[in-house]
Structure 1
């Protein structure tokens, strides 16, 4: 199976909600991403979760007042997302079957490093936002450090990354992403993010337990973005 093959997610369907399974780190990142999302400020506010997978963001935003819509290509993942309160929509991140300006928040978590058409995916994320809407994301930087850590090392650590899940040629340079967002009226603030040292050491020693993701000065590997669409 080639790298970044979407069929891998069907093969790994039973791993999504296992806290110590193959997608453990996605749980940690979902919790960190949710901390960037404020409570809804109006009734019927909508959060569009691009590349939602099995809905790992859902528990972390459940009390914030959003109607949570999840968009993904993988039917087996969307079925699980529905079970966790997400309204599932099958669609490609570069051609989302939702209307312009429908979303108060768009989340693109661990998605952009998987899309071949980065420009198209960013355009869609920004199109979905209403004026004043919030874009939140996290992704992998296009650096040698990211290739080493996210592929060479992480694919050998249980729960860090399934083998072959990433194609490092699709990793996303900060400069490129900020430029693409700006083209669509979103000024993206960016910061690095990493696992807490104590949590990671405990995880490596026991192979269990959630790890808190914390901000860091370095954006060389993982980074978060947050930006508001111009009115």
Structure 2
């Protein structure tokens, strides 16, 4: 999803052009919805009545339905204006067009900050994580999922996923392996800003995948695994102020 300018000349227009496909269960953005459901399992119960959640790189708002009724005021930020319209129409209370390297929020403004499948699309994901930690209040939860900078991830996410004709296939050229996110550096960046992340891998449920390809199922469950070598999620709390 679009989160920063300057990645390549046509990047914003790529996602603006896909804005009407965010909610197509067999379209190129469908897997992002599967991952959003998995991410939602890590969102904690709000600890106060006015709790706020920020979804960074929210795209068309695929995370929104999974937050409904959970007690958060939801905010989404993205660079794609057309995608933000979709997010607003699908449950986000507030949406803002902005660069995630310079989040337009005050320090410690949110109880939960999430970022799903966006860090691997920005030239400096670690500065983006720094910003996410900045706007997260002490005791708040950071949740990010992204793609590892490994050879196997490059093979799975690009060679296979983008080149095998199938429903849910990402548009060829969606990913640039040079932007895949180093796990150790992600951990150290978050740690330097008070968040100790725990990593878990994710993969599609095999049986669901088979039924999805056979047009017998509209969604594929993502299940947790030990290996973080391809798709992984990090979750952790920001240390409380001493």
**Could you say which residue in structure 2 is the equivalent of 1:56?**
62
Q: CA deviation at 1:206?
A: 2.2
Question: Take 1:114 and 1:215, find their aligned partners in 2: how far apart are those partners?
Answer: 23
Residue 176 of structure 1 corresponds to 185
Contact 2:61-2:90 at 8 Å conserved across structures: yes
Structure 1 position 208, deviation (Å)? 4.8
Alignment partner of 1:100 is 2:92: no
Contact 1:104/1:129 (8 A) holds in 2 = yes
User: Deviating runs (4+, > 6 A) in structure 1?
Assistant: none
Q: TM-score, normalised by structure 2?
A: 0.92
Structure 2 unmatched ranges of 5 or more: 1-6
The aligned residue for residue 109 of structure 1 is: 116
Contact 1:195 1:214 in 2 (8 A): yes
Number of equivalenced pairs:
231
CA contact (8 A) 1:48 1:68 kept: yes
Q: CA deviation at 1:18?
A: 1.1
Partner of 2:148: 141
In structure 2, distance between residues paired with 1:133 and 1:195: 29
* Contact in 1 for aligned 2:208/2:217 (Cα 8 Å): no
For residues 217 and 208 of structure 2, the distance between their equivalents in structure 1, rounded to whole angstroms, comes to 10
Asked if 1:229 corresponds to 2:238, the answer is yes
Tell whether 2:215 aligns with 1:206.
yes
The CA distance in 2 between the partners of 1:195 and 1:4, in whole Å, is 30
Cα distance between partner residues in 1 of 2:222 and 2:56: 21
Pick aligned residue for 2:83 from 73, 77, 80 = 77
How far does the alpha carbon of each residue in 1:38-96 deviate from its partner, in whole angstroms, 9 at most, with x for none?
A: 22121110000000001100000111100000000000000111111211011111001
Give yes or no for contact 1:20–1:207 (8 Å, CA) kept in 2: no
The TM-score, its normalising length taken from structure 1, stands at: 0.96
The answer to whether residue 52 in structure 2 is matched with residue 46 in structure 1 is yes
| Alpha-carbon separation, structure 2, partners of 1:3 and 1:144 | 26
Post-superposition offset of 1:7: 2.1
